[in-house]
């Protein structure tokens, strides 16, 4: 810096802009890479890539960076925590963003979700469905909904067991403000691709069974499965929505145990 007038405040502003530009370049590179890998997984499994939705997962990512992601073309974000999502929705209220709640939702948070969210992928109880529907009626809104399934059988994971899903899906038809679209799952965390794949295969079969049994097969078309570490396997097994966090935004500071009970890393 030269001259007495260009003080440290200017330097700081320049630094901020430089960091923003750097993040945006990195983000664009990662986004292109993920899209390419989605394409490749689709080619391998003879699917069309327009059938696979990329949902960027933005938990712990600052609103400022989401602005950069928006300018790079992202129009929707997935969040685990209602409070955090609501804060970002307010902060980025000038942008047209589709907010998706993908983390376990307590019934007492339903009224907030009914106000701003567009989708809930983690529906896992009738009580939550009832509360959401009632709150949505009050707000004059509707939500896209996926039912969370525990496909790994681990007691630490949220979601219905596969056997409970058909009756649960049938009972959701009573709720006018919930548009049921399909199923969501988190696969087991394992080094073994084959162990992970088993969870996704279980989901694919569950959807096939539902499509035969439910009056409207469209209500179980969506299969949200696959994250940074396993999305290619998920696509090979029929995923229609991959939820990608760290592979797009970089590593998270908070451990996953903060978001998922029972995880130790």
Ligand X SMILES: *Cc1c(COP(=O)(O)O)cnc(C)c1O
Binding site for ligand X (CB under 6 A): 57, 59, 80, 102-103, 186, 227-229, 243-247, 259
Considering the complex, state which of residue 131 and residue 185 has its C-beta at the smaller distance from ligand X.
185
Give the separation between CA 142 and CA 114, rounded to whole angstroms. 8
Give me 230's structure tokens: 């396993």
Q: Which is nearer to ligand X, 99 or 259 (CB)?
A: 259
| Furthest CA-CA distance within the chain | 76
Is the Cβ of residue 162 or residue 245 nearer to ligand X in the bound state? 245
Task: Give backbone dihedrals phi and psi of 96, rounded to 5 degrees, phi first.
Answer: -95, 95
DSSP string, 52-95: SEEEEB-TT--HHHHHHHHHTT--EEEES-HHHHHHHHHHTTTS
Q: Of 78 and 238, which CB lies nearer to ligand X in the complex structure?
A: 78
Least distance in angstroms from the C-beta of 252 to ligand X:
7
Judged by beta carbon, residue 145 or residue 247, the one nearer ligand X is: 247
Closer residue to ligand X in complex, CB, 175/259? 259
In the complex, minimum distance from the CB of residue 244 to ligand X, in angstroms, rounded to a whole number: 5
Residues 6+ apart with CB under 8 A from 240: 51, 52, 53, 182, 221, 222, 223, 224
Residue with tokens 């990608």: 244
Closer residue to ligand X (CB): 62 or 213: 62
Give the C-alpha distances (Å, rounded to integers) separating 238 from 50, 173, 208, 213, 242. 13, 25, 11, 19, 11
Least Å from the CB of residue 8 to ligand X? 36
For residue 261, what are the CA distances in angstroms to 197, 255, 258? 22, 11, 7
Min dist CB 12 to ligand X, Å, is 30
In whole angstroms, what is the distance from residue 138 CA to residue 132 CA? 10
What's the min distance (Å) between Cβ of 98 and ligand X?
Answer: 16
Residue 262 C-beta: closest distance to ligand X, Å? 13
CB of residue 55 to ligand X, shortest distance in Å? 8
Q: Which residue is nearest to ligand X (CB)?
A: 245
């Amino acid at each position: 810096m030269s001259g007495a007038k260009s003080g440290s405040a200017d330097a700081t502003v320049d630094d901020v802009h430089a960091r923003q530009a750097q993040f945006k370049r990195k983000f664009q590179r990662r986004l292109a890479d993920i899209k390419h890998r989605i394409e490749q997984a689709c080619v391998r499994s003879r699917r069309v890539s327009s059938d696979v939705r990329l949902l960027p997962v933005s938990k712990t990512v600052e609103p400022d960076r989401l602005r950069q992601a928006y300018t790079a073309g992202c129009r929707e974000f997935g969040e685990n925590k209602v409070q955090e999502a609501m804060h970002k929705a307010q902060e980025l209220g000038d942008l047209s963003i589709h907010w998706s709640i993908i983390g376990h939702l307590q019934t007492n948070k339903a009224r907030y979700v009914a106000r701003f969210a567009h989708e809930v992928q983690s529906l896992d109880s009738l009580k939550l469905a009832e509360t959401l529907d009632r709150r949505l009626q009050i707000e004059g809104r509707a939500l896209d909904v996926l039912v969370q399934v525990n496909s790994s059988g681990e007691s630490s994971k949220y979601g219905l067991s596969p056997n409970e899903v058909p009756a649960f899906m049938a009972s959701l038809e009573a709720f006018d403000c919930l548009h049921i679209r399909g199923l969501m799952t988190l696969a087991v965390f394992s080094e073994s691709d084959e162990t992970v794949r088993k969870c996704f295969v279980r989901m694919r079969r569950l959807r096939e069974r539902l499509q035969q049994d439910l009056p409207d097969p469209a209500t179980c078309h969506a299969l949200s499965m696959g994250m940074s570490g396993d999305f290619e396997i998920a696509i090979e097994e029929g995923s229609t929505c991959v939820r990608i966090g760290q592979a797009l935004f970089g590593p998270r500071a908070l451990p996953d145990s903060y978001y998922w009970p029972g995880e130790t890393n």
